[in-house]
Amino acid sequence: MKNKEDIAKSVLKAADTLKTRRATADTTFQDISDYILLNKGDFTRSSSPGQRRDRRIFDSTAVQANNQLAATIQSGMTDPTTRWFNLKPKEESIAEMHSFKISAGFSSISSLICETALSSSKSTY
Beta strands per DSSP E along the chain: none
Q: What is the pLDDT of residues 83-123, one digit of tens each?
A: 777 787 777 776 666 666 777 888 888 888 888 877 765 55
Average pLDDT, the chain: 81
Query: What residues have CB less than 8 Å from 88, skipping those under 6 apart?
Result: 95, 103, 106
pTM of the model: 0.53
Q: How many Å apart are CA 38 and CA 98, to the nearest integer?
A: 47
